Amino acid sequence: MFKAVQVTSPEMKEEFCLLAGPSANRPDSLDDSNADAHWMLIDNEGIAARCSLWWSDVPSYQNHQVGLIGHYAARNGTAAIELLRMSCRELKKKGCTIAIGPMDGSTWKTYRLVTKTDGDLPFFLEPNTPLEWADHFRQDGFEPLAHYISRIVDLDRRDLKEEELELEKKRYQQLTQRISELGISIRQLDLTRIDEELNRICGLSTRSFRRNFLYTQISEKEFLKQYAKVISYIQPELVLLAEHGDRLVGIMFTLPDVMQSQLGGSIDQVILKTLAVDPEYQGHKIGSFLCKAIYDKAQKLGYQRAINALMIQENRSTRFNSNEGYILREYTLFAKKLEREA
């Protein structure tokens, strides 16, 4: 038997965070989440499952009133199903017509579940979740809403034949010439003025992602707060900025996979975290160029592999490199329609 408890006190927040998950593992992260409610299921062994709910400030989806389930973690399937059913009841009471999850409030935060893996170790900033968590959502009637993939590319391109390598080099040369003819310059991130650089990256990202699936606006303050968490890991040569005069028109934000060192290995791969192109400059292959340029730069710096991380299928960023490398991991965001209360 489980007891459902709404989290309201500092002590309860501490208990909430005792059950490890990909997010909300510290009480202060709950305070910063803007969630409308936090719930946990308790049994005689302690906390068995937990999640947070959002219904006030949520993404738009079709004609639905969206409710979000995030900060998700469960010790076993029985507790998971009970938690999800209770969460859907709570969201229905608030007028929601669809529950989406797991998502920690927006796509700027942690969301999605791993649904397929080749067995490789998790990479830095990846939502590393047990495969059975996806079964929890399926068993409660949730269906896939969106699919995502991470691809890994060998930078020495051993997967290509000699003639294919020559064709790749020719395409990169053509892209380089095209970018130059457009008057676009490429430079690396300047860490000596990191605040100014991140302010510009924030502006470009919000312009570029505005039409993305389940997009919500983010404040500059919140954007900078999120990027502050990775500043110490930045290798400036791996962050490429495309500029047309004084205007930032493209960004490729890449990080070393520091998870490799945290797991006791050496760092030999990079993570392509964010690719953004100004909507007014789309169609000029700036994104394709930045992908090729960062592969070239990373290889020259001694890295062996690049991970194109967490791309929604059919997204432009997927098409930029859809045939390169192999799929490392697949992820799913789930949804369940909720009947209106009579």
Enter the DSSP assignment of 48.
E
Q: Which CATH number fits domain 3-147+333-337: 3.40.630.30, 3.40.30.10, 3.60.110.10, 3.40.50.410?
A: 3.40.630.30
Q: Do domains 3-147+333-337 and 156-303 have the same CATH topology?
A: yes
Letter for the amino acid at 126?
E
Letter for the amino acid at 322?
S
The architecture that CATH gives domain 156-303 is 3-Layer(aba) Sandwich (3.40)
**Among residues 158, 128, 169, 124, which one has the least CA distance to residue 269?**
124
Q: For every one of its 342 residues, what pLDDT tens digit does the chain have, with 9 covering 90 and above?
A: 899 999 999 999 999 999 999 988 889 989 889 999 999 999 999 999 999 999 999 999 999 999 999 999 999 999 999 999 999 999 999 999 999 999 999 999 999 999 999 999 999 999 999 999 999 999 999 999 999 999 999 998 777 778 888 888 899 999 999 999 999 999 999 999 999 999 999 999 999 999 999 999 999 999 999 999 999 999 999 999 999 999 999 999 999 999 999 999 999 999 999 999 999 999 999 999 999 999 999 999 999 999 999 999 974 554 555 557 899 999 999 999 997 644
Contact yes or no for 184/172 (Cβ under 8 A): no
Residue spans of the domains in the chain: they are 3-147+333-337, 156-303
Angstrom distances, CA of residue 95 to CA of 56, 145, 213: 10, 20, 22
| Reported pTM | 0.92
